[in-house]
Amino acid sequence: MEKELLESIDRNLQIVIGLLLQSVPGADTRTLQDQIGDLTARGMRPNEIARALGKSANHINKELSLGRSRKQKKGRSKK
């Protein structure tokens, strides 16, 4: 019973997060990378982000990896 309740709460929170992301001003022009970066900065894990955005965890991990490599390349070009 308790486990079912926690799963229900988790599901509902994921829906709320998804709706809040859509209601952010300029959300329609924000890239997936921007959304993932914001959620990561707020402490969400890739699997939580995946559920909130309706993507696979592998896709989110790939985007995070691409974002890190872009930052590294940008840092190297400034030197």
The model's pLDDT over 28-68, given as tens digits with 9 standing for 90+, comes to 777 888 889 888 888 889 998 998 888 999 999 999 999 88
CATH number at residue 51: 1.10.10
Q: Provide the residue range defining the domain that includes 48.
A: 2-77
Q: CA nearest 46: which of 31, 26, 65? A: 65
Cα gap 14→19, rounded to integer Å: 9
Q: Taking residues 17-28, what's their average pLDDT? A: 77
pLDDT at 64: 93
What is the C-alpha to C-alpha distance for residues 68 and 50, in angstroms, rounded to an integer?
18
CB atoms within 10 A of CB 6: 10
Interacting residues of 36 by C-beta distance below 8 A, sequence separation 6+: 49, 53, 60, 63, 64, 67
**How many domains in the chain?**
1
